Amino acid sequence: MLPQPLIAVSDVERSSRWYQKLLDCQGGHGGQQYEQLMLDGRMLMQLHKWGDHDHPNLGNPDEAAHGYGVLLWFETPHFDEAVARARALKAEIVEEPHFNKNARHREIWVRDPDGYVVVLASPYGDTG
């Protein structure tokens, strides 16, 4: 079993471009309502436009804070390059790159264009 998270966004195409640059992945579906982001032939995550298709929990973007209680967490063996991509995107940095002694890896926390928090983490044991 593999996770395939789906988040609701205000502009699917903008978010797709942003995530493709940040995560160094590719669009696998494309479109204004729905996108699949792919990495090495596998779906990494999905984007869905707020309010389209009457899906439960995706109807009203003003009903609750976007991503409240959710962190989109991605491990990458290329942590320094991921940090450089986040900076090139001028992503809002929630937490600067640091070593998390409890998780025993490096991480950076950024905010996406819709306000979701995205964590990029190096593999376990990477002290930098």
Say what the pLDDT of residue 38 is: 97
Q: Which domains, from first to last, does the chain contain?
A: 6-121 (3.10.180.10)
CB within 8 A of 120, min separation 6: which ones?
22, 74, 76, 79, 82, 83, 86, 107, 108, 110
CB within 8 A of 84, min separation 6: which ones?
none
Quick check: 105 pLDDT over 90?
A: yes
Report the chain's mean pLDDT, rounded to a whole number.
91
Say what the pLDDT of residue 58 is: 66
CB-based contact 96:103 (threshold 8 Å)? no
Q: And the tokens for 65?
A: 């804070």
pLDDT (tens digit per residue) in 43-97: 999 999 987 666 666 667 777 777 778 899 999 999 999 999 999 999 999 999 9
What are the DSSP E strand ranges found in 17-104? Answer: 26-27, 34-39, 42-49, 71-75, 92-100
Say what the pLDDT of residue 108 is: 98
Instruction: Give the Cα separation of 95 and 59 in Å (integer).
Output: 30
